[in-house]
Amino acid sequence: MKKVTALALIFAGLILSATAQATVISLDAYLGSDWKATVTPESFDNTCYPCASNIFATGLTWESANSGWNISASYDDSSWSAYSGGLPAGALTPFYARQVFNIDGTPNYGTFSIGVDDDSLVWVNGILVPGLIDNNGGNSGVQTADITSYLVSGDNVIAFKAHNSAGGGFGVYGLTGSVTYEANAVPEPTTLMLLSLSIAGIVFNRRKKV
């Protein structure tokens, strides 16, 4: 009974002393986060004005052939270029960008902001974020949305499509955001030391009795 009680106390101590740490993942493209972008074969130099092509109706052939680009962490984006905001080389429209990040714990909060002249769509784990749908054919300024409900433990994918829907100027800005989560609790070093000492004590007592 004494041995069982001692072990129970040890494991209870481990649970109580395990600490969950708040961790922040940056989604800021301008601060060196792991964004990647691509200009597809369907992209075109839409500099005419006025002219129009709806963001929902542009690039569909490429999107159909690359169905995992905005949802799968394992999607092959090795041919994509590192992206730090603004327009990728060539400034063609539309272009696509994505980032994969891992939440090793429980998601607490996430937010993301984007501004595009003209339009943009943002997905988190393949779900189109309603608060980040910009389809008015003009510069709407920076939009911000809470993305907490779309986050999961493990790998996550945030992705966006930017399009110069009405021609003329084309710009992407305001790519900021962050994700906060509680890391999986781990025993503190002092707790592990106490556990080792307790086990050693039990072993010593058993040998002494023998």
Asked whether the whole model's pTM tops 0.75, one would answer yes
| Cβ–Cβ < 8 Å for 98, 35 | yes
Give the mean pLDDT of 59-76. Answer: 96
DSSP 8-state class, residue 161: E
Is the confidence at residue 194, as pLDDT, over 80?
no
Q: What is the pLDDT of residues 94-151, one digit of tens each?
A: 999 999 999 999 999 999 999 999 999 999 999 999 999 999 988 889 999 999 999 9
* Closest to 48 measured CA to CA, from 145, 169, 185: 169
The DSSP-derived string for 68-111 is TTTT-TTS--TTSEE--SSPPTT--EEEEEEEEEEE-EEEEEEE
| Cα-based distances in Å from 72 to 39, 46, 114, 131, 159 | 19, 29, 21, 22, 10
